[in-house]
Structure 1
Amino acid sequence: MTDVVVYGATSGGVCAAVAAARAGAPVVLLEPGRHVGGMTSGGLGYTDVGDVRVVRGMAGELRTAIASWYGVAEGHFAGPEPRVAESIYLGWLDEAGVDVRFGAVLAGADVVDGVIGAVVLRDGSRVCGAVYVDASYEGDLLAAAGVPYAVGREDRSLYGERYAGRQELVPGRHTVPPLISPFAGDAAGESGGDVLPQLHDRPLAPVGAGDRGVMSYGYRVCLTQASDRVPFTRRDDYDEAHWELGRRIFDRWRRDGVDVRAGQLLGLERNLPGGKCDGNSIGPFSLSVLDGSAWSYPDAGPDERERLRLHHLHHAQDFLYFLSHDAAVPAAVRDEMLTWGYPADEFVDTDHLPHQLYVREARRMLGEYVLTEHDLLPAPRPQHDAVAMGSYHVDIREVQRTWRWVHEHPKPVGMVFTEGYLSVPVRPYPIPFRSIVPRYADCANLLVPVCLSASHVAFSSVRMEVQYQMLGHAAGLAAAQAASSGRPVQSIDVAVLQEKLRASGQVLAL
């Protein structure tokens, strides 16, 4: 039996494991895959920071380590190359003496009277600890322990949040241009029929209503223009019909006189060291998969999750091939895309595509305190038990690409819409310890720094990697304290925790 068991070697999981080990606790880090770092080493090289003044503690330590690796000033690069991020994290884990176990896929948990006794892995083995940290993007351990959770958008009435629930269908950079027909055999959108691929063909909930819709998932791809780049190729199962929506969007832009560049679709700029690029989901047609398939992912079983992961991976591969080869894509876009490819030295064991699906949100624990929009907006709400600070704007990425009838003369016309995107600035706000622990009645020895207790709106601000790093730091120190004292995690001395966090650079207030 060990003191602390961390499930999920995401950024939050690595920081939790290292922080607990540095505090003197024996730690086991269980990772179902073969890599550490989650999205930080899995394609999201361009780091969304918010207010850099609050990005300290282990998040600041990572920024310093990146600068030292490249011999530049802190913040000179927006983030590291994926392989460098993983190398730094592996060095931390080794130096701290963390027992890292790969291929450790969760099958269940032994729980008696609200206390986890062991996690059970798919190979039948059991790992026992005094305190557990669920640092997975999915919240699988908290669910296995019977801790209640929420998934997707809540109704505005639940917490009285202005920005909750289904959003208005409004124009913007992330929605499609007008008059795009959703019907496969009817480009005019008048007669109906089969709906195109890449649409979420289901009735829309009323504006403001909860619908359990989660932000779209996708893959953030690392690209390069280096001479040894790996070119975009056509998969054997590439489906021409799957990209008809893209052809219609490009045709609409052409008729409207819109000059489209590849960089507007992927953010193609050398924003990483080594002349590399973190390809992002920008605009209405992107790496994000908007057909609603992500909605079922949080509660899906292993086989269905793997099917969904491959669906998203193949979308990324085929999207890059489509942009660089399809005749309906403007020649300028195709030509620019052909100057890019996958870096030969990144993701070498996964065919140069990232090892991590970008799960923007999955489960969210219903813990001691639910962080909501009111804690962020219009002004930060004080928290006596703050253990980190968030500062990134409310960033709800597109939830679905759907369609509806629009009443145009002389008869209704079917049009495609992208729904859900929202961006609202916030000031730096404290995140309470109570939001990373379950309610005492639900579980007494679990901390959750990633799928923390927050509403959909509040979570959309917290969900950035630097904030997971800071919350993982706090969870690791709290786990070590709970293990050494024998107390439930809800009953540790938070003042002592805060003192230790401040001593290691964490900012708890401005």
Structure 2
Amino acid sequence: MNAYVTEPARHTPVLGEWEVVVLGGGPSGLAAATAAARAGRSTLLVEKSGYLGGAGTGGGLSTFCGMYSNVHGEHVLTVRGHATELLERIDRLGGLRAPHLSFSDRIQAQAYDIPAYRSAADDQVLAAGAQLLYHAFAVGAVVEGSTVDGVVVESKSGRGILRGQVFIDCSGDGDLLAWTGTSHHKADPHGEMLFPSTMFRINAVDGERAGPAWKTLPRMMDEAVAAGRPRFPRRGAIVRPQRDDLEWRANATQLRNADGSAVDGTDVWQLTHGEVQGRTQAQEVFGFIRENVPGFERAYIVDIGPEIGIRETRRLLGKYVLTEEDVRSCARFEDSIGLNGWPVEAHVDGDLDIRWPYGEDPLGYNELPYRMLVPESGPANLLVAGRCASMTHGGQSAARVAGPCFAMGQAAGTAAHLALEKHGVVAEVDTALLRVHLESEGACLSLL
């Protein structure tokens, strides 16, 4: 039975006004806020948690994927600019490990210390001149005609409105684009939506005895299932050492509902179910690791990600929709604002499916067009960056990781600055000028 309560009308206070308001403090959001503020715009970054980093901190991910590309067999750092400055800040705090090879040694990723990332992200955004608002949960939008006028937030201080001139949705779930009626697509949990995971970290590992356990563990799990053990949450568990060999991270869970569908990150009941299920799965998989993998006999779980790692929910329908074909054919665009070198990483039911660029000697990366940040229909002053940008399911399975999200965020923040010179209309940004600005800030837009 559905029941409703009519709440009394109320006057909601305006908490402030900025030229640029960024919703969400993951890689795209912190990069967007940094770029807009460095360009001289008054900027507010709004985050529901008490720290930045998104899934990379709150989800316990602890690895940057998509920073490097395999270019004709050479591993090249292709996401640069503000992202590489962030890596340097993390490194100065002693929190960065040298890049390592992943997925049959075909692509590089980079592990980091989560507390160092949180501190470095604070420093970078604040040093740029942006303002942070933590513990503010966005719940709605104020739309006036063809523009967004404000974001409605709830917090311990109550309800309030954050007004702005240009807004950037980096929420991951596309919350702002949904509230404003912006054109978008919602992934279908019954087959299309990528399955979420709960990350966990393991301490007291004997790294010397463990050796390359990331290569042997998947085979051991397959053999155990073949011998009659109940199936694991998914095949292809990923384990890797962190900053020090005594601590390892594990990406080995897969969260689903009773009907087999992927847990939907926009449904609070499913999120609750997923949190409990993820912790249960983490303990189950870790038990197998401790009992069977050399070097883990004295190990224990030191941390389980505070939040589920959501991979896919809403996606913008933009001026351009990045496709899996674009990723695998290493597409180029005249309005490129950054690069993605990560393969299609599809977290399908019970497994992990990696799909690489076509050919024997591929270029190894695709360019990201500015148009994938610009709505096809919706408010004129709204940009969307990160995993909720304009991509198909297959395209998003690659470009949702940290590296391309950093690139999209820096571009969105810079474009917001340029849009303010065009009455806030993001579709009127001169992409040639945008590219000049990005390159002047160290971004890599092409290697050709």
2:254 pairs with 1:288: yes
Paired letter, 1:421 = D
2:159 partner SS:
coil
Partner of 2:379: 443
Residues 128-179 of structure 1, C-alpha deviations (whole Å, 9 max, x = no match)? 00000110111101111111211226xxxxxxxxxxxxxxxxxxxxxxxxxx
Give distance in 1, aligned partners of 2:289 and 2:202.
20
Matches within 5 A, 1:33-44: 33-42=49-58, 43-44=60-61
What is the CA-CA distance between 1:214 and the residue it aligns to? 0.5
User: TM-score, with normalisation over the residues of structure 2?
Assistant: 0.78
Partner of 2:247: 276
Matches within 5 A, 1:8-407: 8-42=24-58, 43-49=60-66, 50-51=68-69, 52-70=76-94, 75=99, 78-122=110-154, 123-152=158-187, 213-225=192-204, 252-254=225-227, 266-273=237-244, 275-281=246-252, 287-291=253-257, 295=262, 297-300=264-267, 305=268, 307-323=269-285, 332-333=291-292, 339-343=298-302, 352-377=303-328, 379-398=329-348, 400=349
Partner of 2:213: none
Paired letter, 1:474 = A
What is the CA-CA distance between 1:296 and the residue it aligns to? 6.1
Paired letter, 1:320 = A
Give distance in 1, aligned partners of 2:410 and 2:98.
20
Residues 339-383 of structure 1, C-alpha deviations (whole Å, 9 max, x = no match)? 32243xxxxxxxx43233211111110011111133233x33331
2:384 pairs with 1:455: no
1:6 touches 1:132 (CA, 8 Å); kept in 2? Answer: yes
2:62 partner SS:
coil
Give distance in 2, aligned partners of 1:30 and 1:483.
20
The answer to which structure has the higher strand fraction is 2
1:38 touches 1:356 (CA, 8 Å); kept in 2? Answer: no
Q: Identify if the C-alpha distance between structure 1 residues 112 and 255 changes in structure 2 by more than 3 Å, giving closer, same or farther.
A: closer
1:13 partner SS:
helix
Partner of 1:477: 414
1:70 partner SS:
coil
What is the CA-CA distance between 1:224 and the residue it aligns to? 1.3
Paired letter, 2:46 = L
Paired letter, 2:94 = Y
Residues 415-434 of structure 1, C-alpha deviations (whole Å, 9 max, x = no match)? xxx47734233621111000
2:46 touches 2:134 (CA, 8 Å); kept in 1? Answer: yes
1:388 touches 1:507 (CA, 8 Å); kept in 2? Answer: yes
Q: Identify if the C-alpha distance between structure 1 residues 324 and 121 changes in structure 2 by more than 3 Å, giving closer, same or farther.
A: closer
Partner of 2:218: none
Q: Identify if the C-alpha distance between structure 1 residues 420 and 224 changes in structure 2 by more than 3 Å, giving closer, same or farther.
A: closer
1:222 touches 1:276 (CA, 8 Å); kept in 2? Answer: yes
What is the CA-CA distance between 1:254 and the residue it aligns to? 2.5
Give distance in 2, aligned partners of 1:9 and 1:470.
14
Give distance in 1, aligned partners of 2:270 and 2:243.
29
Q: Identify if the C-alpha distance between structure 1 residues 449 and 61 changes in structure 2 by more than 3 Å, giving closer, same or farther.
A: same
- Taking only aligned residues, the RMSD between alpha carbons, in angstroms, comes to 3.1
User: TM-score, with normalisation over the residues of structure 1?
Assistant: 0.69
Q: Identify if the C-alpha distance between structure 1 residues 73 and 213 changes in structure 2 by more than 3 Å, giving closer, same or farther.
A: closer
2:424 pairs with 1:499: no
Deviates more, 1:418-427 or 1:475-484: 418-427
Gaps of 5+ in 1: 154-199, 201-210, 228-247, 282-286, 344-351, 401-417
Paired letter, 2:135 = G
2:32 partner SS:
helix
What is the CA-CA distance between 1:250 and the residue it aligns to? 7.8
Residues 235-279 of structure 1, C-alpha deviations (whole Å, 9 max, x = no match)? xxxxxxxxxxxxx988643259xxx99xx9744442334732221
Give distance in 2, aligned partners of 1:91 and 1:315.
35
1:78 partner SS:
strand
Q: Identify if the C-alpha distance between structure 1 residues 55 and 273 changes in structure 2 by more than 3 Å, giving closer, same or farther.
A: farther
Q: Identify if the C-alpha distance between structure 1 residues 290 and 337 changes in structure 2 by more than 3 Å, giving closer, same or farther.
A: farther
Paired letter, 2:446 = A
Give distance in 2, aligned partners of 1:108 and 1:481.
26
1:118 partner SS:
strand
Q: Identify if the C-alpha distance between structure 1 residues 71 and 117 changes in structure 2 by more than 3 Å, giving closer, same or farther.
A: closer
Give distance in 2, aligned partners of 1:432 and 1:103.
32
1:397 touches 1:421 (CA, 8 Å); kept in 2? Answer: yes
Paired letter, 1:424 = W
1:388 touches 1:508 (CA, 8 Å); kept in 2? Answer: yes
1:66 touches 1:79 (CA, 8 Å); kept in 2? Answer: no
Paired letter, 1:45 = S
What is the CA-CA distance between 1:486 and the residue it aligns to? 1.9
Give distance in 2, aligned partners of 1:383 and 1:137.
24
Give distance in 2, aligned partners of 1:468 and 1:278.
22
Gaps of 5+ in 2: 1-16, 70-75, 101-108, 207-220, 359-363
What is the CA-CA distance between 1:473 and the residue it aligns to? 0.7
What is the CA-CA distance between 1:484 and the residue it aligns to? 4.2
Deviates more, 1:28-37 or 1:368-377: 368-377
2:93 partner SS:
helix
Q: Identify if the C-alpha distance between structure 1 residues 315 and 336 changes in structure 2 by more than 3 Å, giving closer, same or farther.
A: farther
2:96 touches 2:112 (CA, 8 Å); kept in 1? Answer: no
Paired letter, 1:280 = N
What is the CA-CA distance between 1:55 and the residue it aligns to? 1.8
Deviates more, 1:93-102 or 1:360-369: 93-102
What is the CA-CA distance between 1:120 and the residue it aligns to? 1.3
Q: Identify if the C-alpha distance between structure 1 residues 488 and 91 changes in structure 2 by more than 3 Å, giving closer, same or farther.
A: same
Number of residue equivalences? 389
Q: Identify if the C-alpha distance between structure 1 residues 509 and 25 changes in structure 2 by more than 3 Å, giving closer, same or farther.
A: same
Q: Identify if the C-alpha distance between structure 1 residues 353 and 322 changes in structure 2 by more than 3 Å, giving closer, same or farther.
A: closer
Q: Identify if the C-alpha distance between structure 1 residues 249 and 70 changes in structure 2 by more than 3 Å, giving closer, same or farther.
A: closer
2:61 touches 2:305 (CA, 8 Å); kept in 1? Answer: no
